[in-house]
Structure formats: structure tokens, C-alpha cells
């Protein structure tokens, strides 16, 4: 009997699941806390929690991870030199430290716009090569002709042996600067992805697992590990992608909306006839606009572990994630006694970081480039939780809440506080951790608002449910003002929103919200089996998907019309549209099939669909002046041998 192992390293939990290959039945699952700053320990703990009898027969391991997203958000990627070829606008507020713009680039028809200034490239490379780990290159209209990007790549590799990422290798969309940023971020992530994947490979080999290793992309498709190392940027936002694919598999629905309530956020997305809706403008992460095709999603910073804090008698939820009190009580023996003494320093105004139920603890990550003031604050925080009062006493003078917040953002310290997970423990809707710690926290917080512990917990649960519904309807009613949607959701009307697609819920405590969601929205609400590890299932059951875009464009030269066919590898010229179309169809299908073979998909089971969009000079024109072809290849994974 053969099995597959799926792993999802999320913001709060790392989930592992084993599926039997013969009938796709879930045989075992386990949730472990995600470990910071190193994710590998949490992954190892998740695998350790599985029944070991299955491990020797694992033939496929597939991973979904937050590593790329967190690295970009924290700005902890490796240094990269960016080379921009052509004359185009670079934002003045760009965060790229080492970049140069040189002469070169092409026109919209693929002709050379200016000769490449290779001397300027050489000068830049020699100046920064000792301070960077890789280079990224983006040339003007390289999607029409990548010649200058490839020339620079070849030059740098021969001169330095360092990795080089080209913009056209990651995207065929227009926008030279955004392609450059995509290549820049990808180059930053390559060393980190290689270290992470090498660690995963080492661990599964240590366990005697002889399996193919795959990774989930942010569009919900699977790629083999070789491509994952070369294109780690495509693994951003794989959590929502995993939830979408996993929800479809577990609910046996190929069309459904999905609400994934994680520890950090609530994400909503949609699957239609087995394929996710994509964000055509490219994924946005950490303030960067990329050209990476990711699933379209509606997300909010309200999850099971969002910080519940009080100011001016008002209850706020999020946006920051904290360790729930009930979890901290298990992780840190004696914490409940510390919690009972929770107090806020006199004359200090309550705020997100100043709460009688909020505590701080070191993560183990080594500090880099801290000011002496920040070092002093950090020295007051150890491996056991301390309150803001403890920090004040140890510090000996007023503490800047902004600097404390900076240490949290740099993941040097973790915060502990009251959360919706604690509220569910009080209501007996979820009982995985220490319920007493949740009650202690609720008792302290109830003194700040005119509620008892039960009322406080019910209020928080209700707000989370409304947030889930708001996210769902904001996604479904794209372009409609969110305040108007919320007004309808919360209003006492003789009607409510009705959905024509089923809604699948995923997440550890999500079963607690089924009844409330049904009361807010008229829809089929599905809680599938193994909903608590749906992301790990999604990491495993994705398909191989490849999208290829080819453009046929009419050009006029010396009173004659020609047709240029632009492919990811360059362009070719034809005298008739029919010849150009025949060539484009041949190239598109071959590129899809080549990808499927390289990705180790079952190429005998590949389905290729082609969509065509023509632009005519005038209505009734027999020959279009532009034709865009999009090839969509979908394939199934071959399981049974190690790649």
C-alpha cells in the first residue's frame, strides 16, 4: 500500500496529513504549533505526531509554507543587485538598495530600441558583487524579446558564477519595473528556499522515506522541488491556495466558496469548476507589486489567535496575532500565576501593547542592527513571559511602546494575550488547551467592560462570525462598498444575503461558527471531515497547472503586413495570420507538455484548453490585427517513484 504526506506550515499551526493513494482516503492527521523563527522544528513535530506505520510507504511529500511570504514581509531576504534595462520610471520611494538602470531594451514589436550598454552592467556587477548574493534583470519589453536579459545573465554567470533571475522567466505580463521587482524578490528568496528544502529533504531521508517532493504554488497548482528552488516567489500566499484545493477535495465540490479561519487571518476564495479565480494584476505582498499569478482572495487580519484588547471600554480584535492565554499556560508552566497578577502600570493609557492580559517572551531569533535603547528593552525580556509592568520595573524608566512594537515586528519577541480561541474555550466550543487560563484572562478583561466572562466570550465569537460573513460577501460582491455590505449583514431586515454556491469552512475551531454563519447568510454551509487540517490536504491534492500566453500582432513594414508571434522564448515572423496561428498553437501546446514532463506529471493525462481573443481594426474585418492565445494545461501527478 502506498501513501502521500501533505504538510502545511501556517502562521499558527503546522498540519500534517497522510492520504492513501489507492482511494484518496485520509488515514492520519496531526496539528503542531508552528515554530519561529525556524519552521522546520514545527514540521518535524507535526510528522512525529503521525502514526509511524505509514511513513515507510510514503511515495509523495508535498509542502505548503509561509516562508516566502514571511521573508518578504519581514524584509529578511538575501541582498540582491537589480539591473533595469531601458528608460522607464522607477518609483522614488523604492526600497531596492542596489540597482542600476542601463541603456538597452526593445520595442513592442520585439525590435531593439537601443543597444545594450554591457560596460555599464559590468561596472555595476564589479561594484556590488561582494555585497549581494544574486542578481535580477528586467529589460524593457523583454516579454516581446528577452535577448538583452539573456545576454546579461550569460555575462554575469560567466564573470561571477552567481545566480541571475530574469523577469521574463517569471512573467509574460507587461510592466518592466514590476517584472524587475518580481525577479528581485525571487532572487532574494532562492538561498532561503534552498536551505528550507534541503532541511526537508534531510528530514524525510532520515526517516527512511523514499518519496517525490513537491511544493504548492500560490495559484493552487503543484510544482516539483527543482522548480520550487528556482522560483520560490511562486510560493507566496500558498496558505489560501492550499485551503481552496483542500476544501474542494474534502467537500467533494468542484465549485465552492471557501472560508479559511486561521490563527492570523480569515481568508475567502472561490473555486469554479475545479479551477481557482486568479488575481490578474499579480499578487501584492509587503508593499511590493509582483507579477505572480495568485488566487484572488478577500482577507482580514482577524483569526483565532488575533489579539483581543480593550481601550475606552471598547473591545477590539486584531490586527496582530498573539499566543492565546490557553496555549501559553501549556507552553510555560507557572504562567497562570503570572497572569493572575496581570496589571497595567499606573497612569499608562491602555492600548494594543498595554493590556493587563498581554505578556512578552523572547523567540530565540538573534537580534541584528538594534539601537542601544532597543537592546536595553530586549534585555528585560527572557524565556518566560513578562508583563508591561515587569518591563517597566526592570527597565527603570518609561518604555517606548513604539520600540516594543518594533521588536515584535522583527520577530525578536512574541506577544501573549487574550484571543477568540480563549473565548471559545470559555464557551466550551473548543477545548484543546488550558481553559482555566482563558477564564482568568476573561475575568481580568471583564472589569474593563460592562460584561461578565460569558457575555464577553459570546460578544467576541459573534464579531468573528460577522467578520467571516463580511469577508465572504465582500468577495462575492466585488466592487460593492464594504460598509454597505456590513450594514445589511448587521441590520434587522426581513431579508439577508443568499448565495448560489456552497460555502466550505476550514480551520481548527471553525465548527464553532457553523450555526452563526447559517443565521447570518442564506447558503449551504459545509463543514467537511478533517476541516481542521484542510490546508495540509490541499498541499497534497493540487494538480499540475501551466498557463502559457502567446500574442500574434500585425505589423506594417514597407507597405506590407506581417504577423509577429511572441512566445516566452522570443518572437517569429510570418507573412499570413493563418501561418502565425498554426505556429502559435503548436508552440503553446508543446510548452505546456514540456512543463508537464519536467514537473513529473502524468503527461498522458494532460488536458489542454485554449482561449482566443481577437482585436479587429473594424467590425467584419476578416483578419485580426492582434490575437491573444491563452493555453491552460491541467495534469495529474504521477506517484510511485522518487524524482
| pLDDT the model gives residue 642 | 46
| Ranges 54-68, 387-401, 414-428, 431-445: which has the least confidence | 387-401
Alpha carbon 603 to its chain's center? 28
| pLDDT the model gives residue 348 | 62
| pLDDT the model gives residue 641 | 46
Rounded Cα distance between 446 and 230, Å, is 52
| Ranges 143-152, 347-356, 492-501, 543-552: which has the least confidence | 347-356
Predicted confidence (pLDDT) per residue in 12-23, tens digit: 788 999 999 888
Q: Is the pLDDT reported for residue 195 higher than 90?
A: no
Q: What is the pTM of this model?
A: 0.79
562-568 mean pLDDT: 92
Place of cell 499579480: 282
Rounded Cα distance between 537 and 19, Å, is 8
Strand pairing of 212-216 and 222-224?
antiparallel
| Ranges 85-99, 387-401, 463-477: which has the least confidence | 387-401
Rounded Cα distance between 472 and 464, Å, is 12
Predicted confidence (pLDDT) per residue in 40-99, tens digit: 888 999 999 999 999 989 998 999 887 787 777 667 788 999 999 998 888 877 888 899
Grid cell for residue 243: 485551503
Grid cell for residue 315: 473591545
Q: Is the pLDDT reported for residue 111 higher than 70?
A: yes
Predicted confidence (pLDDT) per residue in 129-184, tens digit: 999 999 999 999 998 899 999 999 999 999 999 999 999 988 888 889 999 999 99
Predicted confidence (pLDDT) per residue in 586-605, tens digit: 999 999 998 888 777 777 78
| First-to-last C-alpha distance (Å) of the chain | 19
Q: Is the pLDDT reported for residue 441 higher than 70?
A: yes
| pLDDT the model gives residue 134 | 93
Q: 290-304, 369-383, 445-459: which has the highest mean pLDDT?
A: 445-459
Rounded Cα distance between 561 and 577, Å, is 10
361 CB burial (10 A radius; 0-12, 13-18, 19+): buried
Q: Is the pLDDT reported for residue 317 higher than 60?
A: yes
Predicted confidence (pLDDT) per residue in 225-280, tens digit: 888 888 888 888 787 888 888 999 999 999 999 999 988 788 899 999 888 888 87
| pLDDT the model gives residue 643 | 43
Cβ–Cβ under 8 Å, residues 420 and 464: yes
552-560 mean pLDDT: 87
pLDDT category of residue 346 using cuts at 50, 70 and 90: low
What SS3 state is found at 333? coil
CATH 3.90.1200 fits 544-635, yes or no: no
pLDDT category of residue 366 using cuts at 50, 70 and 90: confident
State what percent of residues in the chain have pLDDT above 90.
49
Predicted confidence (pLDDT) per residue in 615-627, tens digit: 997 777 788 999 9
| pLDDT the model gives residue 345 | 56
Rounded Cα distance between 402 and 352, Å, is 11
What SS3 state is found at 122? helix
Place of cell 511590493: 288
pLDDT category of residue 5 using cuts at 50, 70 and 90: very high
Predicted confidence (pLDDT) per residue in 494-525, tens digit: 888 999 999 999 988 899 999 999 999 999 99
More confident residue, 11 or 549: 549
Strand pairing of 525-526 and 503-506?
parallel
Rounded Cα distance between 215 and 43, Å, is 14
| pLDDT the model gives residue 273 | 86
179-198 mean pLDDT: 90
Amino acid at each position: 500500500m502506498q501513501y502521500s504526506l501533505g504538510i502545511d506550515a501556517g502562521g499558527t499551526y503546522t498540519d500534517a496529513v497522510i492520504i492513501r493513494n489507492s482511494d484518496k482516503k485520509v488515514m492520519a492527521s496531526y496539528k503542531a504549533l508552528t515554530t519561529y523563527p525556524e519552521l522546520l522544528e514545527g514540521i518535524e513535530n507535526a510528522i512525529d505526531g503521525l502514526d509511524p506505520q505509514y511513513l515507510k510507504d510514503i511515495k509523495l511529500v508535498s509542502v505548503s509554507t509561509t516562508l516566502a511570504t514571511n521573508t518578504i514581509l519581514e524584509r529578511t531576504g538575501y541582498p540582491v543587485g537589480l539591473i533595469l534595462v531601458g528608460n522607464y520610471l522607477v518609483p522614488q520611494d523604492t526600497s531596492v538598495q542596489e540597482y542600476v538602470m542601463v541603456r538597452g531594451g526593445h520595442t513592442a514589436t520585439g525590435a531593439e530600441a537601443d543597444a545594450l550598454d554591457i560596460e555599464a552592467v559590468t561596472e555595476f556587477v564589479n561594484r556590488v558583487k561582494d555585497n549581494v548574493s544574486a542578481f535580477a534583470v528586467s529589460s524593457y519589453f523583454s516579454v516581446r524579446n528577452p535577448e538583452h536579459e539573456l545576454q546579461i545573465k550569460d555575462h554575469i554567470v560567466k564573470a561571477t558564477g552567481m545566480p541571475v533571475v530574469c523577469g521574463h522567466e517569471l512573467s509574460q505580463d507587461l510592466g518592466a519595473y514590476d517584472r524587475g521587482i518580481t525577479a528581485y524578490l525571487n532572487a532574494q528568496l532562492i538561498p532561503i528556499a534552498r536551505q528550507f528544502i534541503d532541511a526537508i529533504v534531510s528530514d524525510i531521508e532520515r526517516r527512511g522515506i523514499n518519496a517525490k517532493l513537491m511544493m504548492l504554488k500560490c495559484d493552487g497548482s503543484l510544482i516539483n522541488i527543482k522548480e520550487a528552488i528556482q522560483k520560490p516567489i511562486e510560493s507566496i500566499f500558498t496558505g489560501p491556495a492550499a485551503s481552496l484545493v483542500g476544501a474542494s477535495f474534502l467537500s467533494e465540490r468542484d465549485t465552492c466558496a471557501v472560508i479559511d479561519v486561521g490563527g492570523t487571518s480569515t481568508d475567502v476564495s472561490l473555486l469554479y469548476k475545479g479551477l481557482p479565480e486568479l488575481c490578474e494584476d499579480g499578487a501584492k505582498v509587503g508593499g511590493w507589486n509582483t507579477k505572480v499569478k495568485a488566487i484572488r482572495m478577500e482577507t482580514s487580519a482577524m483569526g483565532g489567535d488575533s489579539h483581543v484588547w480593550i481601550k475606552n471600554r471598547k473591545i477590539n480584535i486584531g490586527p496582530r496575532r498573539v499566543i492565546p492565554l490557553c496555549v501559553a499556560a501549556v507552553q510555560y508552566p507557572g504562567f497562570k500565576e503570572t497572569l493572575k497578577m496581570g496589571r497595567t502600570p499606573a497612569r499608562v493609557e491602555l492600548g494594543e501593547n498595554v493590556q493587563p492580559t498581554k505578556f512578552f517572551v523572547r523567540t530565540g531569533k538573534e537580534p541584528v542592527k538594534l539601537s542601544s535603547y532597543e537592546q536595553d528593552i530586549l534585555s528585560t525580556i527572557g524565556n518566560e513571559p513578562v508583563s508591561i509592568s515587569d518591563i517597566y520595573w526592570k527597565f527603570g524608566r518609561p518604555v517606548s511602546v513604539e520600540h516594543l512594537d518594533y521588536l515584535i515586528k522583527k520577530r525578536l519577541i512574541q506577544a501573549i494575550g487574550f484571543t477568540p480561541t480563549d473565548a471559545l474555550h470559555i464557551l466550551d466550543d473548543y477545548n484543546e488547551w488550558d481553559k482555566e487560563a482563558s477564564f482568568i484572562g476573561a475575568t481580568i478583561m471583564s472589569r474593563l467592560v460592562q460584561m461578565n466572562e460569558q457575555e464577553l466570550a459570546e460578544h467576541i465569537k459573534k464579531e468573528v462570525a460577522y467578520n467571516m460573513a463580511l469577508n465572504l460577501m465582500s468577495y462575492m460582491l466585488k466592487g460593492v462598498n464594504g460598509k454597505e455590505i456590513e450594514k445589511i449583514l448587521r441590520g434587522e431586515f426581513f431579508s439577508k444575503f443568499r448565495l448560489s454556491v456552497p460555502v466550505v469552512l476550514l480551520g481548527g475551531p471553525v465548527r464553532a461558527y457553523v450555526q452563526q454563519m447559517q443565521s447570518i447568510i442564506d447558503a449551504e454551509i459545509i463543514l467537511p471531515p478533517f476541516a481542521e487540517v484542510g490546508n495540509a490536504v490541499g498541499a497534497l491534492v493540487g494538480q499540475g497547472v501551466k498557463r502559457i500566453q502567446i500574442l500574434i500582432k500585425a505589423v506594417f513594414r514597407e507597405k506590407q503586413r506581417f504577423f509577429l508571434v511572441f512566445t516566452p522564448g522570443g518572437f517569429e515572423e510570418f507573412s499570413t495570420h493563418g501561418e502565425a496561428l498554426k505556429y502559435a498553437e503548436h508552440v503553446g501546446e508543446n510548452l505546456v507538455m514540456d512543463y508537464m514532463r519536467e514537473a513529473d506529471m502524468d503527461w498522458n493525462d494532460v488536458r489542454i484548453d485554449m482561449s482566443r481573443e481577437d482585436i479587429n481594426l473594424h467590425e467584419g474585418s476578416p483578419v485580426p490585427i492582434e490575437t491573444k492565445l491563452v493555453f491552460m494545461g491541467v495534469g495529474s501527478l504521477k506517484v510511485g517513484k522518487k524524482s
